[in-house]
Amino acid sequence: MTNDAQTAGSASPPRKSFARNTAIFSVLTGLSRIAGLLREVVASSYFGLTPAFSAFTIAFYIPNVVRSLFADSALSAAFVPVFTELLEEDRKKEAFKLASTLFLVMLCALGAICALFILSAGFVVPLFTGSEFTHATDQLAIGLSRVMFPIVLVLGLNGLIVGILQAYDHFTIPALSPLVWNVVIMVFLIFSRPLFADDLYAYAVGILVGTAVQFLMALPVLKTVGFHFELSFDWRDPRVKQVFMLMLPVTLGLGLINFNVFANSILGSYVSTEAPRAIDAAFRIYMLPQGMFSVAIATVLFPQLSRLAARRDFPGLRSNVDYGLRLIFLLLLPATAATLVLSEPITRLIFERGAFDASDTALVATALFWFSFSLPFSGVNLLLTRTFFSLQRPWLVTYLSVGNLVVNVGVSIIFVVMGFGIGGIVAGTAIADIAMAAAQMYVLRGELAGGFDLRKTGEIVFGMLIAAVWFGIATYVTWAGLDWVFGRSLLGQVISVGGSLVVGLAAYVSITLSMRLPEAEQLRGMVQRRLAR
């Protein structure tokens, strides 16, 4: 994504800059996910899987779904291709004017949405709570949602700023700010609880404060990339219309994808009062490898894909996507094996303390086990979805996302009715993600006029799958031995889980390198070069 990468040949992925940017984004995102898990550990030690914490979970998901519809993810996905196209055409002043107008439009529109929700929360929130929720729990969810809903406005404006930075291949602050967000929330939760009658309100206010800090961090960085706001509110600019025309299907597509997680909590509230929180806790663990690897790869590749699409360089676009897909499988297949064989030990190590007991561990571990099956396919979906966005064909994602939601909710309901409980709900998500990945791949092959190199990718991924099986075997056998020796104290769990993952990783690395898989050798080369410096 630097100039040397762009001139290296359109048909080849930007290996050096891509690897560097992905490594930076991955490390910072990984630290953010770890901080997020620590935040969940602290919160769970205070609240366990209580009905009140389930009310908080639903109250938090409501603004998150809305911001995915109208705010940061949808806006960035629609804005970056148009903004990048203007920069590619050396129309910087028009690009800056477009961004400035969109900032003011989003400020007014999202501000109005926030005010409307706060007034109507008493009617809206109970629509998303199940029969297991009492009137008191509903009222708690209503109050918490009112406190947290303004994050929709802040994240909407932040999404535009992040889009500008990504168009200039600046990923450090967008990756670092979520880490700061988590730290601010933890500090606020720990130290401000005496100020509130209900500790959950300290958590809610902490989220709002952390989101504001995240936004403020991004503003000074705009100067470093040469961007400056224009005093413009030219809503008749055809590029503004173009962004919103792209944003409509992106909004629906990403909103439907994000609604799947919210739908799991809604369905969980019909299973038990603990289920919504248990699913969310498992999702937090699941998102650690997802954020470190697939989110990093898709985010860093997106501006490059947008540039290639603007040039109509389809061979280069296909090559980049093929490379991204193989890298996602290389990194997520061992993560899948880890959460499959160690779902309960990992959950116990992370959460089981304070108000979070062994029965809570069993519930969360069940959800995590079934989430494992969707891990690599969800990563594939992230990359393919952004490929459609780079081509400015977001309606195709919308249609596929409708199908994804129908499969997810339909299969989950069937499994719940059949008595599979929390595992059935999450299994529906895994099946929907697999179907979504297959459908996106099929449709995108036609869009790119020539398709992907599926034979090469399939052979490489099959080798990775074999290595991942051995990862799982080595990990579980090692964990069982270490667990027997060191027991279930906190230190013993750290040794058994951490040691088994190290042994499994060593087995995976040695097998992938012995197979001479290109992506594995490339990562080894990058690590060796870093260590040699």
- What is the pTM assigned to this prediction? 0.69
Give one word for 169, left, alpha or beta, with left for phi > 0 and alpha for psi -120 to 50. left
Rounded to whole angstroms, how far apart are CA atoms 268 and 421? Answer: 8
Query: How confident is the model at residue 9, as a pLDDT?
Result: 39
**Residue-level pLDDT at 185:** 93
Tell me, what's the pLDDT at 71? 57
Neighbours of 116 (CB within 10 A): 12
Residue 12 DSSP symbol: S
DSSP 8-state assignment for residue 128: G
Per-10-residue mean pLDDT of the chain, 533 residues long, equals: 38 51 70 82 83 86 76 67 80 83 86 93 82 79 93 88 81 82 91 86 93 89 77 70 70 62 74 81 85 76 80 82 88 93 93 84 92 90 85 79 85 86 88 90 78 79 93 96 92 94 94 86 66 55
The 8-class DSSP code of residue 392 comes to T
Distances, alpha carbon 11 to alpha carbons 17, 27, 433, in Å: 15, 28, 29
Q: Quote the CA–CA distance of 388 and 446 in Å, as a whole number.
A: 12
Q: What angle do CA 264, 48, 141 make, to 5 degrees?
A: 55
Alpha carbons 228 and 237: distance in angstroms, whole number? 18
**Residue count (the chain):** 533
Helices marked H in 311-452: 314-341, 343-351, 358-372, 375-390, 394-417, 421-447
Give dist(CA 405, CA 128) in Å, integer. Answer: 16
SS3 (DSSP) at 131: coil
Which of 32, 26, 30, 34 is closest to 349 using CA atoms?
34
